[in-house]
Amino acid sequence: MLLNNRRDSLVRSLGDTLDTVVAGRSPWADARARFFRNKAAVVSLCLLAIIVLVCLVGPYMLPHAFDSADWDAMSLPPTLKNAHFFGTDESGRDLLVRSLIGGRVSLMVGMLATLSSVALGIAWGATAGFIGGRVDTFMMRVVDMMYAVPYLLIAILMVTILGRAFYLVVITITVFSWMDMARVVRGQTLSLRSKEFIEAARAMGVPTRRIIFQHIVPNLLGVVVVYTTVTVPGVILTESVLSFLGLGIQEPMTSWGVLIHDGTTVMEISPWMLLFPAAFLSITLYCFNYIGDGLRDALDPKDR
Amino acid sequence: MWSFAFRRALATIPTLLAVITVCYLLLHATPGGPFDEERKVSAAVLANLQAKYHLDQPLWKQYLYYLNNLAHGDLGASFRYEDWSVNELVAKALPVSAAIGGGSILIALFIGVLLGTIAALRQNSAVDYVVMLFGNLGHAFPSFVIGPVLILVFAIWLKLVPSGGWNNFEPRYMILPMALLIFINVATIGRVMRGSLIEVLHSNFIRTARAKGLPTHTIILRHALKPALLPVVSLIGPLAISSITSAVVTESVFSLPGLGKLIVNGAGNRDYTLVLGLVVLVTVIAVSFNLLVDLAYAALDPKIRY
Amino acid sequence: MALIEVRDLGVQFQTGDGLVYAVNGINFALDRGQTLGIVGESGSGKSQSVLAMMGLLARNGHASGHALYAGEDLLTMKPAQLNRIRGNRVAMIFQDPMTSLNPYLTVERQMTEVLQFHKGMDRRAARARSVELLDAVKIPDAARRIGTYPHEFSGGMRQRVMIAMALLCEPEVLIADEPTTALDVTVQAQILSLLRDLQRDFGTAIVLITHDLGVVAGLCDQVVVLYGGRVMEQGSASDIFYHASHPYTVGLLGAVPRLNQDDASLVAIPGAPPNMARLPKGCPFSERCNLADAHCVDTMPVLGPSSHRAGVLRACHRSAQQVADNHLAELSSA
């Protein structure tokens, strides 16, 4: 209690003012508003949605199958003839359809590999962060070792040994994409563990499981979302590189990486074979990057 | 300082051992792998394998023999080429990769630091935006997209350089692949240098330097450059590693007979032992490089003293 | 002609919230051997005013008015000319010695470059002179330690190094921006007595920025009291201390803890420092002043001579007598 009555009443009235002036807004609403103010991120989101939609639905609306050879339309540049909007390859297969189907595969691999990397990363990071001590040190050393290794080479080794079945490609990619998430989740868990509100919850006797689900997980969501959007382009890129080198997706399936590789073999005479799939891939990657940046800014604006 | 170096070097051994062991076990564990008795290989290759890998011994002994070989610099025998050992294949391919890769990193460092510095000094000006845009382009598009596009433009349309191949270090075959790697690396280095220099220029000790009446060029060169370069130095490690990845793609795109091409061909041929040997070699190089960078960083930063 | 003459100095910042007037209407004159203290809370604009004089404002800052050194306006000088004066005739030391020295250069390098640049000395002579000055500020074993890095010195010693570095060219004016805030009390006393000695020996004029009234009392001849970027009261140190006539100054003095009185209560000034982007139209202190009325909030009080004491300037709508009476009333009711 302040000794001076006038000062005392001033402080109380200040307290009252604060109550009325500050209308609460949840941090999520805040973040969402910030995200949508970021024009690049919003445009990227729309563009990405369009690409995904087109890849899913497009092939059904086009007259060609992705592996059907159109014998009287071989190696055509983009044309309206026979509705080969992107042109055809040397076997007469329509490039647009192949790009879209390839997109399906690239995106599908991307999604699956991302899901498994994210799951692995969260499990690894949260465990390390929560248990702490020696276990944490060891687990993080493993992460460091994974970083020190040139991943593409090991990936090539794995593909050499294990083969190129679809699920094996996904596994190979996963093995090298979980580390960022693990590191970030571990850091977040560590800092959360020592936060006062967790201690308070513990002191009040809240059971551990409840603490984890009600307090730790929601706080992890932010970083998880951000780093998932960071993981996806990396995963798609890894698949594309492997496929480009002929070590990823196998015939008869195709992906953007395969198409780009095929494109380079004929780019002297048919540059569109290279440029269209390359454009698809690049735009998709760019979109993910901008969305990731936007999310990061939205969820943690001071982190530049 | 030397004990620090020694301790750091020791710390790299677990990583190396882990990688080598995992790869080795992968090789053995896979059915249909090279050490599976049912595999049909020519007698000559089999003889080579027996000699190098001691296939008749129990597994742990084979492993130790392998480690012993490695310690003596013997990377193994090829699974496909009966006349060549991995070492011999490496000896032909390494100089190519080293020239292209090493050369590009050095040039990229120089250009990247220069561009980053200019961009930082002229922050938010037209020059800055151009440099950053350039940086973003190199960073956003995958190397196997930029590469073929470069070939398309410069080799096919403009006919300035050959579109690939190699002729004993003849410069015109080196230009385009190096340009690709330089472009990609300059993007990263420039961005980091710019960000780092901008941050350094806002520090209190730069304010003190200005209060002392020192001219701008002295402040940049003597006070700001060294601290600004530190993040770039610590970037060199990951950069070198990603260069290895880029090298694989680059050598594929430009048909260069380097280590990358060797590994890709080996993978395509399912030449397991070759790929294993190469993976081990490159990992050793990568880890050693990281170690060197760590030591360089410690040497540059006077606050780190042992 | 006074050594330093500041007329109507103002500092504005271009921010996302609009143009912020961080400093308005500062006037003072300083001669050799004199010390001026600029007192105020965080955000009152005290640092920005001297940074403006030294040409060290941030990119989005702009200075108005005049800051004359030996008759020439520092604010409008060409950079090359300003560089000849900075570090040479007018030197500055900063608040945080931990970060104000370059950690990647030796102390020797940071000191000799000043002499090399301003006085054209060679490395040897510069080093010798630097060691002399380090001795003068009582750095033990200076000849050996000069070759070491700043992080090998303690906070107090680093501040002494800064002071030595600032005095290398025997400047006529030394600007000290909160030189003791980051140091503990015993070191504080040493630094202040050092400054006093140096002033006596070299005749340097000192501009001392601080929020600590104890520091001001020990060292200053004149005092300027700032609040919300404006001068509230200005005069000789004894006038300000013993005959404070502005509610803010009174409040500041009252907020100093007294260790020699058993029943002394800490009387804080209620409220918080102002948001510089949104100041009231009138007196910036009106929100926290218990003598304020509607007129105070509406109309800016003009800084004018006090009717009570010669040589004191104050900016208040209430008279000095009213402030004194109110203060007595408060003291007796506490």
If you average pLDDT over every residue of chain C, what do you get? 87
Question: Looking at the structure, do residues C199 and C262 belong to the same domain, yes or no?
Answer: no
User: How many angstroms away from the CA of B157 is the closest CA of chain C?
Assistant: 47
Which of A149, A154, A172 would best serve as a mutation to test chain B binding (most B beta carbons within 10 A)?
A149
Q: What is the pLDDT of residue A20?
A: 47
Does residue C182 share a domain with residue C248?
no
Neighbours of B172 (CB within 10 A): 11
Q: pLDDT tier at B207 (50, 70, 90 boundaries)?
A: very high
Average confidence (pLDDT) over B41-51 = 68
Percent of chain A with pLDDT over 70: 86
Tell me whether A22 touches chain C (CB under 8 Å).
no
Read off the pLDDT band of B133 (50, 70, 90): confident
The highest-confidence range among A162-166, C163-167, C291-295, C323-327, by mean pLDDT, is C163-167
Q: Give the C-alpha distances (Å, rounded to integers) separating A51 from A43, A230, B88, B128, C33.
A: 12, 18, 48, 32, 75
Region C255-273: mean pLDDT is 69
Residue A22 has what pLDDT? 45
A8 touches C at CB < 8 Å: no
Asked whether residue A21 carries a pLDDT value surpassing 50, the answer given is no
For residue C177, what pLDDT band results from cuts at 50, 70 and 90?
very high
Interface partners of chain B (CB pairs < 8 Å, 3 or more) are A, C
| Chain B nearest C-alpha distance from A144 (Å) | 9
ipTM entry: 0.86
Final residue before a domain boundary, out of C220, C250, C266: C220
Listed range (A107-121, B63-77, C22-36, C181-195) with the worst mean pLDDT: B63-77
Mutate to test the interface with B, among C104, C162, C169, C181 (most CBs of B within 10 A): C104
Distance from CA of A18 to the nearest CA of C (A): 13
Same domain for C116 and C53?
yes
Give me the pLDDT at residue B56, please: 65
More confident residue, C63 or A1: C63
Residues from chain B that touch C101, judged by Cβ atoms under 8 A, are 205, 208
CA B109 to chain centre: 14
C8 lies in the same domain as C140: yes
pLDDT band at C266 (very low <50, low <70, confident <90, very high): low
Which string of DSSP letters, residue by residue, matches C142-179? Answer: HHHHTTS-GGGS-HHHHHHHHHHHHHTT--SEEEEEST
Q: What local confidence, expressed as pLDDT, does residue C223 receive?
A: 93
Residues of C in Cβ contact (< 8 Å) with A4: 267, 330, 333-334
Residue C186, pLDDT > 90, answer no
Q: Mean pLDDT, to the nearest integer, of C24-32?
A: 91
Peptide bond connecting A252 to the previous residue in cis, omega within 30 degrees of 0: yes
Domain boundary among C220, C253, C271: C220
Within a domain: C138: yes
CATH of residue C45's domain is: 3.40.50.300
Structure tokens at A167: 């699920």
pLDDT mean over C245-270: 74
pLDDT for the residue B306: 45
The rounded percent of chain B whose pLDDT value lies above 90 is 12
C86, C95, C102, best to mutate vs chain B, most B CBs in 10 Å: C102
Which residues of A are less than 8 Å from C270 in CB distance?
7, 10-11, 14
**Which chain B residue is nearest to residue A278, measuring alpha carbons?**
B145
Closest chain C CA to residue B230 = C104
Tens digits of residue pLDDT in C187-204:
888 888 888 888 888 888
Residue C228 lies in a domain: no
Contact A282 B142 (CB under 8 A): yes
Q: Is there a domain that residue C17 lies in?
A: yes
Count other Cβ atoms within 10 Å, centred on residue C98: 17
Are B114 and B105 a contacting pair, CB within 8 Å?
Answer: no
The top-scoring range by mean pLDDT among A250-254, B205-209, C55-59, C311-315 is B205-209
| C216 plus C254 within the same structural domain | no
Question: Which range marks the domain in which residue C163 is found?
Answer: 4-220
Q: How confident is the model at residue C334 (pLDDT cuts 50, 70, 90)?
A: low
Flag whether C246 is in a domain: yes
**Residues in chain C, overall count:** 334
Q: Is A281:A103 a contact under the CB 8 Å cutoff?
A: no
Cβ-based contacts of C91 with chain B (< 8 Å): 211-212
Q: Looking at the 3D structure of chain C, how many domains does it have?
A: 2
Least confident range from A103-117, A196-210, B116-130, C62-76: namely A196-210
Residue C53 confidence (pLDDT) = 92
A residues 223-282 closer than 8 Å to B (CB): 237, 240-241, 244-247, 257, 260-261, 263-264, 267-268, 271, 274-275, 278, 281-282
Percent of chain C clearing pLDDT 70 (strictly above): 96
Q: Lowest-confidence range among B96-100, B137-141, B191-195, B261-265?
A: B137-141
What is the reported pLDDT for B132?
78
Domain boundary pick from C220, C245, C264: C220
Q: How confident is the model at residue C62 (pLDDT cuts 50, 70, 90)?
A: very high
| Sign of the CA dihedral running C67, C69, C73, C75 | negative
Q: How far is CA A109 from the centre of its chain?
A: 12
CA pair distance B85, B76, nearest whole angstrom:
6
Task: Note the helical H segments in chain C.
Answer: 46-53, 79-85, 97-100, 107-119, 123-136, 142-145, 155-167, 185-202, 213-219, 237-242, 247-254, 294-298, 320-333
Instruction: Read off the pLDDT band of A304 (50, 70, 90).
Output: very low
**Amino acid A183: pLDDT:** 87
pLDDT digits (tens, 9 = 90+) for A58-78: 888 877 777 777 777 777 777
Cβ of C334 and A3 within 8 Å?
A: yes
C111 reaches B (C-beta below 8 A): no
Q: Does C124 fall in a domain? A: yes
Neighbour-count burial for A192-201, b at 16+ CB within 10 Å, e otherwise: beeeeebeeb
pLDDT value at residue B33: 53
pLDDT of B283 strictly over 90: no
d(C-alpha B202, C-alpha C49), whole Å: 19
- The pLDDT assigned to A2 comes to 45
Nearest Cα to A115, choosing from A259, A235, A242, A281?
A235
Residue C67: pLDDT band with limits 50, 70, 90: very high
In chain A, domain spans: 102-304
Residue C270 falls within a domain, yes or no?
yes
Is pLDDT of C124 > 90? Answer: yes
Given an 8 Å threshold on Cβ–Cβ distance, is A267 in contact with B279?
A: no
Considering the domain architecture, whether residues C132 and C262 belong to the same structural domain is answered as no
Percentage of residues in chain B having pLDDT higher than 70: 87
Task: Compare all CA atoms of chain A with the CA of B259 and give the residue at the minimum distance.
Answer: A153
Say yes or no: C69 and C150 in one domain. Answer: yes
pLDDT of amino acid B35: 56
Report, as an integer, the average pLDDT of B252-263. 86
Q: How far apart are CA B197 and CA C255, in angstroms?
A: 43
Same domain, C210 and C242: no
Cβ contacts from A onto C, under 8 A: 15
Per-range mean pLDDT, top range of A285-294, B43-52, B233-242, C97-106 = C97-106
Look up tokens 């009231």; give the residue.
C280
Q: What average pLDDT does the segment B225-238 reach? A: 86
Q: Does 3.30.360.10 match the CATH number of domain A102-304? A: no
- Could you tell me which chain A residue has the CA closest to the CA of C331? A4
Residue C243 domain-assigned?
Answer: yes
Question: Which of A59-68, B70-79, C168-177 comes out lowest in average pLDDT?
Answer: B70-79
State whether C270 and A11 contact (CB < 8 Å).
yes
d(CA A268, nearest CA chain B) in Å: 7
- Does residue C216 lie in a domain region? yes
B47: left (phi over 0), alpha (psi -120 to 50) or beta: alpha
Q: Does residue B92 belong to the interface with chain C, where contact is any CB pair within 8 Å? A: no
Shared domain check, C177 and C44: yes
pLDDT score of C257: 67
Chain C nearest-CA residue for B302: C104
C93 and C154 part of one domain? yes
* Rounded CA separation B213/C101 (Å): 15
To test the contact with chain A by mutation, choose from B144, B271, B282 the residue with the greatest count of A C-beta atoms within 10 A, namely B144
pLDDT at C261: 65
Token output for C19: 């143009």
pLDDT at A286 over 80: yes
Mean local confidence (pLDDT), A51-57: 89
Could you say which residues from 39 to 98 on chain C have a Cβ atom under 8 Å away from some Cβ of chain B? Answer: 54-56, 80, 82-88, 91-92, 94, 96
Mean pLDDT of B54-73: 73
pLDDT band at A212 (very low <50, low <70, confident <90, very high): low
What average pLDDT does chain A have? Answer: 79
The whole-angstrom distance between A194's CA and the closest CA on chain C is 29
C182 interfacial to chain B (CB closer than 8 Å): no
